[in-house]
Structure 1
């Protein structure tokens, strides 16, 4: 039985052009702010993953089911309904920080934020750093 391939892969699409195409203006400015923050934390230039995820770094994963692939170590997508941040490593320290972030929703590996103005940016920066450190410790490529 063939294992399905991951549909989200790095592309050659230009990150700056993608951010410039994001609307409305407030969402575009939030995307620029997140790009600046994640470049600083990771020390990496971003790449587009699929049509709408801006990702920093990459790692290889393999599930017990046998499915494997590559994904960005940390990233975000400025979607219409919310900014989606892809942060891994829900450690106790991460969870404690999350409780002080401000207005957000969260899933297993995602944070959903309507506007950066709704959250404490210092806490968001610490969450991103915690997630990136977790990835470095658990997926040292």
Structure 2
């Protein structure tokens, strides 16, 4: 009987963790004050990717299935909106980049302005409309 209670407890805990992770999937989080990385200290590959307006830097790994969906979505957004650029950085063999940026999972998308200041970040596959709404104040009027 004790084994059954342990099993039920483990299943309940696993379900709770799964629900919590699902609720955070694709959530847009604005950059927190004081958390900004000094743009001059950005990893070189990130600094090189920055464009003249807003750049969506996607942090990916080789075997990440959601990363492919994120890449397709962000590439389409950048293609269809002036002032928006997309750069995909694979950190499979360069985990120090993810560490420097505070990225704990892939895909993570970080939006930077032209000066290299973080505007927001998204863990998981972002919702295109919600992402555009969040970035609209930083994009030039069409």
Determine if the TM-score, normalized by the shorter chain, exceeds 0.5: no
What's the TM-score, normalizing by structure 1? 0.35
| Relative contact order, higher structure (CA 8 A, sep 6+) | 2
Q: Larger % of helix: which?
A: 2
